[in-house]
Amino acid sequence: MGRLYRAIEVASGDQHAYTVGFIDTGADKSVMIRRLADSMGMELKGRIEMVSASGHLIVGRQAEVGVRTLADDMTADIGIGVTDELFDDEIDENGVEMIIGLDFLEEVNMKIEFW
Per-residue model confidence (pLDDT) at position 89: 55
d(CA 12, CA 31): 14
Specify the pLDDT at position 110: 85
Domains of the chain, residue spans: 4-108
Confidence (pTM): 0.86
Q: Could you give the C-alpha distances from 62 to 22, 46, 81, in angstroms and in order?
A: 19, 6, 5
pLDDT for res 96:
86
Give the pLDDT of residue 52: 78
CATH topology of domain 4-108: Cathepsin D, subunit A; domain 1 (2.40.70)
Using a 10 angstrom Cβ sphere, with 0-12 exposed, 13-18 middle and 19 or more buried, the burial of residue 19 is middle
CA dist 48 and 105 (Å) reads 20
Listed residue (56, 53, 19, 22) closest to 37, CA to CA: 19
Give average pLDDT by consecutive 10-residue segment, the chain, 115 residues: 84 95 90 94 94 84 97 95 75 78 93 67
Classify residue 85 by its DSSP letter.
T
Reduce the DSSP state of residue 105 to 3 states and report it: helix
- Using only the alpha carbons of the chain, give its radius of gyration: 13
pLDDT of residue 76: 97
**pLDDT reported for residue 93:** 63
CB burial class (10 A; 0-12, 13-18, 19+) of residue 80?
Answer: buried
